[in-house]
Amino acid sequence: MSDPENREHPTPEEPEVTESAVGGADGGEPVADAEVADTAADAAAAADTAEQAPEESPEDKLTALLAERTDDLQRVSAEYANYRKRAAQDRQTTIDHTTSSVVQKFLPVFDDLDLAEQHGDLKEGPLKAFAGKLAGILGQLKVTPFGAAGDEFNPEIHEAVQDLSSGDEKRIGVVLRKGYMIDDRLLRTAMVIIDDVEEAQSGSADEPAPEAASADESENNES
């Protein structure tokens, strides 16, 4: 009778060790070696390219530096030219504003001289000489009066206090107060009465304004 303990147990079969299994443990090393080889090849290629690229000569460096400095100089010159232009414009604006302010203060004097001329007081005497000198100064300052009977009415430069016209074409019939321009800038509008074309053209340029006529009447009444 056989002893069960003495029976030989079958030995389990050992798994076959394949090359793929062996390579699985060390499989990372060939890939890393390939990456290192590629990196070294790229570095070598870059070094070859750098060696092949021509080195910039001193003349080329000086040419590039000169071009850069020339651009800087041109930019600074343009900025300075613009600054001078703005400064000149600001200075001229200040001069024009000051001149206009001074001339405006003398407008009442010009009005009195106009009334004196309408009364015939400027035909001779010292007042005539004064008016002539003042007119010369106004000419030097480019100040010109405007507004006369028969002129076409312009609402931009004429201030109408009365409209006696009956048609579409409006003319100045009576000038109550002259207007003044300095260069092409308006200092003061002319105060006028609008009338028809025929009435305005038939009116006399020497006809005194209503203020002057009322002043003459008051003087006659007093005498």
The domain locations on the chain are 62-104, 106-222
Q: Which residues contact 118 (CB under 8 A, 6 or more apart)?
A: 206, 208, 209, 212
Indicate the helix (H) or strand (E) that contains 31: helix 28-52
Per-residue confidence in pLDDT tens, the chain, 223 aa: 444 444 555 554 554 544 444 444 444 455 556 666 667 677 766 666 555 556 778 888 888 889 999 999 999 999 999 999 999 999 999 999 999 999 999 999 999 999 998 888 888 888 888 999 999 999 999 999 999 999 999 999 999 999 988 877 889 999 999 999 998 899 999 999 998 866 655 554 445 444 444 444 444 444 4
CATH of domain 106-222: 2.30.22.10
Global pTM exceeds 0.75: no
